[in-house]
Amino acid sequence: MVAIAGLLALGACSKSASDKAADNVRAAGENAADTIEAAGANVASGLQNQADVVQDTASNRADAVRNAAENKADRIEANHH
């Protein structure tokens, strides 16, 4: 009698096929959302890295132009003395 009651209790706890399918669909949706979120974060990180490279390159070029202009001004000044 106790064994039958245990089996009935166990049967009552088990999920139906449609509940299991719904859980699987929910889990698959959550996994897809996590994957999309991770991909978005990777894209954002890549774009930030590219922006940093562009900014650093522009800064270096501006420094080079400034230095060249200062060097030319120094040469002109030195030649006029």
Q: Which residues 6+ apart lie within 8 Å of 23 measured at CB?
A: 15
**pLDDT number for residue 5:** 52
Domain ranges of the chain: 42-81
Q: How many CB atoms lie within 10 A of CB 5?
A: 9
Q: What is the pLDDT of residues 6-30, one digit of tens each?
A: 544 555 557 899 999 999 999 999 9
Q: Is the dihedral of CA 28, 34, 40, 42 positive or negative?
A: negative
Gyration radius from the chain CA atoms: 34
The CA distance from 41 to 48, in Å, is 10
Q: What is the pLDDT of residues 30-80, one digit of tens each?
A: 999 999 999 999 999 999 999 999 999 999 999 999 999 999 999 999 998
Q: Structure pTM?
A: 0.58
**pLDDT number for residue 56:** 98
